[in-house]
Every structure is written in C-alpha cells, then in structure tokens.
Structure 1
Amino acid sequence: MKYISTRGNVEPRGFIETVLMGLADDGGLMIPAEIPVISPATLVEWENLSYQELFLEIFLYYVNDEIPLEDLKEMVAKSYSTFRDPAITPVKPITDKLYVLELFHGPTFAFKDVALQFMGELYSYISKKQGEIIHILGATSGDTGAAAIQGVRGKEGIRICVLHPHQKVSKVQELQMTTVNDANVLNLSVKGNFDDCQRIIKELFGDLGFKGEHHLRAINSINFVRILAQTVYYFYAYLQVVKTNKDASINFSIPSGNFGNVFSGYLAKRMGLPVNKLIIATNENNILERFIQTGEYKPGDFLSTYSPSMDIQIASNFERYLYYLVGEDAEKVSAYMKKFQDEGQIVIGAEAMQQVHAEFAAYGVKNAECLQVISKYKANHEYLLDPHTACGIAAYETYSGDNEVCVSFATAHPAKFDEAIKLCNIEQVLPAEIQQLLVMPQYQTIVDNSKEEIVKQLEAFYSRATDVVEN
C-alpha cells in the first residue's frame, strides 16, 4: 500500500511517512493509491469481532507491515482502555428504524477520542522508534483540541499546540483544553473563527522550511490516519445493525462541518461496506448542504450556532472527495483548488452532480429546529441529544424512506453543550469529570488572528520545550 496526494505532485509514500507528512507537501491531502475492497464473505466473518479486533483487521490493509502486529495490538489496547463502555462505540436502538451510534464514551466525551487516542499512541510509538521530537500542531472547532491534548499529554517526545477560536466553542470544550497545565501543551485562543485557525494551520504546513525545521505533525483530519480510524466505527455499527435488519437498506446520518467524518464513511463504502445513503447533517453554516443540492462549493457568512463544532465554512476534507468525483484526476483537482483559492468558489457540472446525488443527501438544520429535536426526543424517547446529534436526527427524519434503517451519529455527550440543553428547559446531571473542570484554573494565550503572532508563540514554545528535553 502506497499513499499519494490528491494534487499529484508527491512521490508515493509509505504509511509512517504519510502519518508524519500530514498535509501533503504539494498542498493536497494524502490518500491510498488504491483502496482495498473487503469481500461480502469477509464482512460476515467480522460480524462478531470486538471493536478492537475489527480495528486491527481494517488497519492491517493499510500499514504495509511497517508496524509489527504485536506493536499495533498494544497501541490499540492502550488507546481504548480508557473508554467508559466496553463496546467502545455502542449502538443504541431508539425506534425500529433509528439507531444511535454513541461515539462519546472516550475521555473527552466526543467522537474525536475514537481516532485521537490511537493517534496519540501512534505518534508516541513513532517518536520512540525514530528518536525524534514530534511537534503536533492543530486547529479545533471545539472537540479535536481536547481529544488531541488528552491523547498526547505527558507522552515523552511529543509537544502539542492547539488553536481554537476565542469564545466560539462551548465552555466545557474550552475548559477541557485550557485546564491542562502540562509543559508539553500550548493553547492559543485566536480572535477569529475556526476557518481562520484552519487557514493558518494549512499555511504553516505549506511552509515546508518551517514544517521541517520544527518537525510539525498534523492531528486534524487532514491526516489520513484520522480518517481511517473513524472508518472503523462505520463497519462496527453496520455489522451490529445488520444482524437484526437483514433485508433493510442501512443509511448513516452524520453531523459534519469539515467533511472528515463523512469522508470516513465514503471510504468505508468504497471498501465494500454496503451503505445505502450517507446523509450529511450541517447547521446554518451549510456549505456542504449547498454543494450537495446545487453543485456550488462556496463559503457563506459565518454564523455562531448551538452546534459550534460544525461552525465551519471551508471543509478541508472536501478535496479528498473531489479527487474521486473527478475520476481520480489529480490535475483536475489542482485546477479546481486553484480556482477556489483565486475565486472563492467551485462549481461542479451536471453529470458529476448525478454521482453526488447518488452518494449523498444533505440537510442544514436551523437553530430553532435543533432545540425542537432535542426536546422532542427527550420527551418521546427519554434520550437526551447534544445539539450536533440533534442535527443528525433532523437530517434522518428528512431523508428516511420505506424499508430503510438509519444509524445516526451521537458525536458528543450532551454535557459538553449544557448551554443549548438549558434552552430546552432540560436539566441534566453533568458527569463528575466535567463538573470538576468548572473550578479548575485555565491556561491559554489569547492572540490576534495573525500568522506572524502565532509563529512567535510557536517558536517560543518550541524553544522552551527543547530546554525541558535537554535538561
């Protein structure tokens, strides 16, 4: 298995090289040169595997024997040892047509833990094997930062800096990041929105001199390992649901802002998972909904919503899907992305849109509807949804069909978004791990939306980190 860039100007790389590269050196995103296809017979054999066993089966198609099986097993065991449910991502029936895939049983109560606990172990493994300090740099709309910090804090040979938009994440999301006072962690609160943070991250990774000098590594979903690790729970959920729904078409409804979680499902489908529809749920920052409906990929005005992790106008992983949409033609992808950079939009033709409509549906949920869905499911099913999960349920209700069963993703625990829950006149008991955050001191640096200012902060942090390691 080799990995290539969506823009075609990077020599094929191995698995570990791809992990360390993160954003491709030509500005594109790394993808497998060929996607392995899982046979129906193999899927049947996988039906009774544990989550950890299934993870290993899928990853073995991708790691190229670069990591010995026993080492990979140890990383997977450590990654999921802290999850509060033995199933890791349990599937809960709500009605006879609707299941919820609970992705919030990791240490930070969000779906990002599923991939980032493993990535923390993987980066630590690579750092030890190569004898090299790794500097992780990422941007977050709320959940990635906390999960990434939790995944690597205290690990030898790793430093992490996370940019988050100042006062545009929930209070619990902010506290999960900024109450960490470890020497290898730096939190930068940027006066801007997530797209500003993400743009600066991409610019820094695009500066190959800066990237190489400081050993920068990515933990955002621009890193293919994030995508692959998320693919596992599509297989896991499908294999649980199909046991009691042999003749039904199975859909997935996915709250998404950056297209990473959706692309993981698209990858699973290309690998042979017989998914019927991938339903994209967005909020009022609905660039993905507009693309699916009209073929126009163009950012709109940024809006703050009750589901802040999806308050995103530029979806990084869209480029990966674009690569397959244009027939795996890297030159076309480069031309499209150049057009997007110069003109701020991409428009897909009618023929390609037939393919888009065959693969996806999308629905943008307004703030009021989000709260209505939370109240409705608490009253009718005694199930409390976080606002992102509520968007996924609203999208399921819009696109549910006869003889179709849907798995809707619960991407976060409702305790992370108590501000929205209280607007529904619902009182919830916060988990002890979250309650204790409310009285802890915070450690963050508030900075202007400036690449130059962030570079200064990074260079000072890396200098301090070097002193710590050498002494």
Structure 2
Amino acid sequence: MRYISTRGGIKPISFKETVLMGLAEDGGLILPEKTPRVSGETLALWRKLSYPELAFEVLRLFADDIPTEDLKKLVEKAYSSFSHPEICPVIKKGNIWILELFHGPTLAFKDIALQFLGHLFEYLLLERGQKLNILGATSGDTGSAAIYGVKGRKNINIFILFPKGRVSPVQELQMTTVADENVFCLAIEGTFDDCQYIVKKIFSDLDFKKKYFLGAVNSINWARVLAQVVYYIWAYFKVSEAEGKEKVRFSVPTGNFGDIFAGYLAKQILGQGIERLVLATNENDILTRFVNEGDYSLGRVTSTISPSMDIQVASNFERYLYYLYNQEPSRVREAMEQFAQTGSLSFSQEKIARVQKDFLSASINQKETLATIASFYKETGYILDPHTAVGVAAGLKFKDERPMIALATAHPAKFPEAVKKAIGREPERPEALRGLEDKPRRVKVLPAEVEKVKEFVAKNALL
C-alpha cells in the first residue's frame, strides 16, 4: 500500500513513512492510493473476531510494510490498557444503539487510536534509531489521550497546545497533572482554531520541522484515522446481526471531521453496510452548513458545553474534498488556497447532492443538548456526556427503519457540570479521574503566536 498527498506534491510513500511524516510536505493530508473493499467470505470471517483481532485484520490491509507478528503485538499492547473486555461495547438504549468508545485510560474515544499510535511511534523510532518531537493541538480529549499514549516512551517528547480556559476542568487536569518529563502542556491564550493554526504553520516550515524532528499526533496523522475505522466495522457487525438488518446508520458528534471521515472510509470498505453517516455539530455548525447547503464558510467560534466540538476549521475536511473532487489534487490545492484567502468555499447543487448520499447533518444547540441528556436519562437510566448527547439528538432526528448507532465519545464524568445541570447530579467519577485536583500541575501559558511556540519547542525538543 502506497500513500499520496491530497495536494499531489509528494511521491508515493510507505505506511511507515506516512506515520512519521504526519502532515504531507506539500501542506496536504496523506491518504492511501486506493481504499480496499472487503466482501463475501472475508466479511463472514471478520464478523467472528474479537476487537483486537478485527483491528489487526483491518490495519494489515493498510500497514503492509510492518511484519505480521510485529503488527499483532502492537495491536495487543494498544488495547491491553482498556477496562472493558470488548474494548468498544455496543449497547441498545431506547430506540438507539450506543457505541461506547470511552473505556481507555483517558475515558475518551481518542484512546482507541492514540494508544495504538503511541506504541507504533515507539516501534518505528527504535527501529530507525530516531527521535521524535510530537506537536499537537487539542480542543479537549486529543491532548490527554495523546499524552497518555506516549508518556514515558523512549525517544519521544510531546508538546500539546490547548486553548486556555476553553477545555473542561477535568480535561485540563488530565493533561497538566502528568508528571513524565517528556510531556509539555502549553495553554494558548486564544481559541482551538488558533492552536490548530499555530501547529499547521509550524509544520509548514519544513526546515524547522526537519531540524527538530517534528511529528503529528492530531487527526491529520493517517494512522489515527485508520485505527478509528475499526470500530465502525465492529459496531456494524454487532448491530446488523442483533437487528437482522443489512444496513445501519451512524451518528457522529464531530467538529474536526476526523472521526466521521473514519466512518466514511469504513463505508467504502464495507460497500453496502453503512447507509449514511449523520454528522452532528453544536452551534459551531460549519460542517452542517456544508452538508445541508454547500456552504463551508468561517463563523465565530462559540464556547459550548461540548467544547471538543467548538471548532470552525475542520482539519480533516480536506481528505473528504479529495474524494468529492474526484481525486484531483490540483482542485483540492486550489480550494484550500481559496479557503485560506477568503475563509469560504461554496459547492454546486450537483456536489451537494453527492455529499448528501454520504451524510445527513443537524446542528444541536446547548438547550437541546441538555434536554437530550435529561430525557435520555429519564427514559433509559443512561447518562450521556454533552458530546454524545449531540450525536444522540441528531441521530434521533434521522431515525428510520434502519438501526441508528450513536458514538459515545467520552465518559460523562469528564463533564460533570453539564451533566449536573441536565439531571440534577454529577455522574459517579471513575477511578481514573479521582484525585486529579490534588496532583501538581505542569503547564506553560503562551500567547497565540507562532514564533513564541517555536521558541518553546526549540528550547525543549529532543535532538
């Protein structure tokens, strides 16, 4: 399997090279030259597998330059830290299925990919005798999951930027109380989009990137998206069998388009199994406007009770554009240059109709989110976190005869204030979150300036 850039400016590279490159050197995002489609006997065999076994089978299609036994060990290590025997259990609550993705060490769906990526990075660096300085931005859960994926690992330092005061208190504590010396948390005086802009600008400085051995852990890293493909296929098998249905829908709370793009890839791999994906946003609705109206234009970032989705520039959107523009890199490059200059893209009715064959979309405001947490708890006894509630509310809007699977992206205890506002009490705090307030914190506050962040990275990078 060879990999290319959405902008066409790099020669085809291997999976290993893709992982370490992160963002393509031409500023584009990396994708496989072709997406395999699986059917018949192979699907029948996959249905019988455990989650780690299925992950291995999916990953080996795309990571064919890693020896089989090594890949198996990496997968086994990645999911040994999960607290549930099924890794990602799927349970029916009321009229909807809940895919629980929060049984990893930081209680968020990002663990599914980042536990694997942390082990993969260490494996590749030891193999090559190289060092890596990971640079990433987070709107909430990516930061802690990335940190827990690589803390204490050999040959790796990690620098995580988060918007000061714009992540939940629990999310901030999970990041800033990690004591390992290879972890650096940077509280940026701005929004998540500012953090993401800084990271992209630094990666686009190729001399700086090479000098300081920079790598990406955000969802721009292909290996992260790939690891997330697995749970869509897993949930499809479980629910289609339980319901006796050939097709399902998924509802995905998303701001960055990474998680739902993994669903889009799973849709291609399965062929007919996933009918459509429901793209659920909060008030930061740039992606909903894209799906429903063909309007991808910047708005003002609104702070909400689902902060991981408080995003206007969706960093993985470019990957979908590549397919929407019939895999023509020149058109993607022109579109991204236009967006950089004007903050806006528009699409023809023909393109909108094509998008709507893949996606449905709804924007759920905070009032609706709180009402969904309250009503779902009253009806089922199940507590949703505010991100999952956005997905459930949107999913129920588009519920038909097909099973609807909503992605539960975080444990509700990560957002106790929002849950208490909805149901009158905080959710029980799991062991992993107890005592965080009592631990010393390690964090550096910086202005939202590219040069200030570069100075800090240069001073603390592994060389």
TM-score by structure 1 length? 0.97
Task: Encode CA deviations 1:70-103: one digit per residue, 9 max, x unaligned.
Answer: 11111111111110001000001113x4110000
Letter in 2 for 1:232: V
Q: What's the counterpart of residue 70 of structure 2?
A: 71
CA contact (8 A) 2:233 2:270 kept: no
CA contact (8 A) 1:447 1:453 kept: yes
Structure 1 gaps of 5+ residues are 467-471
Letter in 2 for 1:71: D
- C-alpha distance in 2, partners of 1:40/1:237? 18
Counterparts of 1:87-166 in structure 2, within 5 Å, are: 87-95=86-94, 97-166=95-164
Q: What's the counterpart of residue 399 of structure 2?
A: 400
- C-alpha distance in 2, partners of 1:243/1:316? 34
- C-alpha distance in 1, partners of 2:17/2:76? 23
Task: Encode CA deviations 1:324-353: one digit per residue, 9 max, x unaligned.
Answer: 011111111111111101111111111111
Counterparts of 1:450-465 in structure 2, within 5 Å, are: 450-462=449-461, 465=462
Q: Please give the secondary structure, in 1, of the residue aligned with 2:362.
A: strand
Letter in 2 for 1:41: E
Q: Please give the secondary structure, in 1, of the residue aligned with 2:318.
A: helix
Q: What's the counterpart of residue 339 of structure 1?
A: 338
Q: What's the counterpart of residue 53 of structure 1?
A: 53
Task: Encode CA deviations 1:47-84: one digit per residue, 9 max, x unaligned.
Answer: 110000001111111112x2111111111111111100
Bigger drift between 230-239 and 350-359 goes to 350-359
Q: Please give the secondary structure, in 2, of the residue aligned with 1:430.
A: coil
Letter in 2 for 1:383: Y
CA contact (8 A) 2:118 2:146 kept: yes
- C-alpha distance in 1, partners of 2:303/2:99? 26
Q: Please give the secondary structure, in 1, of the residue aligned with 2:242.
A: coil
Counterparts of 1:269-280 in structure 2, within 5 Å, are: 269-273=267-271, 274-280=273-279
Q: Please give the secondary structure, in 2, of the residue aligned with 1:277.
A: strand
Shift of 1:249: 3.0
Letter in 2 for 1:119: L
Task: Encode CA deviations 1:326-383: one digit per residue, 9 max, x unaligned.
Answer: 1111111111111101111111111111101111011111001100000111111000
Q: What's the counterpart of residue 194 of structure 2?
A: 196
Task: Encode CA deviations 1:271-318: one digit per residue, 9 max, x unaligned.
Answer: 124201100111000100011011011111110000000000000111
- C-alpha distance in 2, partners of 1:263/1:429? 32
Q: Please give the secondary structure, in 2, of the residue aligned with 1:407.
A: strand
Structure 2 gaps of 5+ residues are none
- C-alpha distance in 2, partners of 1:406/1:426? 28
Q: Do residues 286 (structure 1) and 285 (structure 2) align? A: yes
- C-alpha distance in 1, partners of 2:191/2:171? 15
CA contact (8 A) 2:96 2:396 kept: no
Task: Encode CA deviations 1:232-274: one digit per residue, 9 max, x unaligned.
Answer: 0000000111112223530000010000000000011111242
Letter in 1 for 2:81: T
Shift of 1:387: 0.2
Q: What's the counterpart of residue 437 of structure 1?
A: 436
Q: What's the counterpart of residue 469 of structure 1?
A: none
- C-alpha distance in 1, partners of 2:127/2:191? 37
- C-alpha distance in 2, partners of 1:74/1:447? 39
- C-alpha distance in 1, partners of 2:182/2:410? 26
Moved over 3 A (4+): none
Q: What's the counterpart of residue 38 of structure 1?
A: 38
CA contact (8 A) 2:282 2:309 kept: yes
Task: Encode CA deviations 1:133-164: one digit per residue, 9 max, x unaligned.
Answer: 11111000010000000000011111100000
Letter in 2 for 1:12: P
Q: What's the counterpart of residue 330 of structure 1?
A: 329
- C-alpha distance in 1, partners of 2:259/2:430? 26
CA contact (8 A) 1:136 1:161 kept: yes
CA contact (8 A) 2:240 2:247 kept: no
Letter in 2 for 1:79: A
Task: Encode CA deviations 1:190-244: one digit per residue, 9 max, x unaligned.
Answer: 0001100001101111111010011100000101111100000000000111112
- C-alpha distance in 2, partners of 1:163/1:339? 27
- C-alpha distance in 2, partners of 1:357/1:37? 21
Q: What's the counterpart of residue 233 of structure 1?
A: 231
TM-score by structure 2 length? 0.98
Q: What's the counterpart of residue 29 of structure 2?
A: 29
Identical positions, percent: 46
CA contact (8 A) 1:255 1:282 kept: yes
Task: Encode CA deviations 1:33-58: one digit per residue, 9 max, x unaligned.
Answer: 01111113321211110000001111
CA contact (8 A) 1:248 1:405 kept: no
Letter in 1 for 2:24: A
- C-alpha distance in 1, partners of 2:310/2:438? 27
Q: What's the counterpart of residue 12 of structure 2?
A: 12
Q: What's the counterpart of residue 205 of structure 1?
A: 203
Letter in 2 for 1:2: R
- C-alpha distance in 1, partners of 2:201/2:166? 22
Letter in 1 for 2:106: T
- C-alpha distance in 2, partners of 1:262/1:226? 12
Q: Do residues 267 (structure 1) and 287 (structure 2) align? A: no
Aligned residue-pair number: 461
- C-alpha distance in 1, partners of 2:449/2:229? 35
- C-alpha distance in 1, partners of 2:247/2:148? 37
- C-alpha distance in 1, partners of 2:345/2:379? 42
Q: State the superposition RMSD in angstroms.
A: 0.9
Q: Do residues 389 (structure 1) and 401 (structure 2) align? A: no
Q: What's the counterpart of residue 413 of structure 1?
A: 411
Shift of 1:112: 0.1
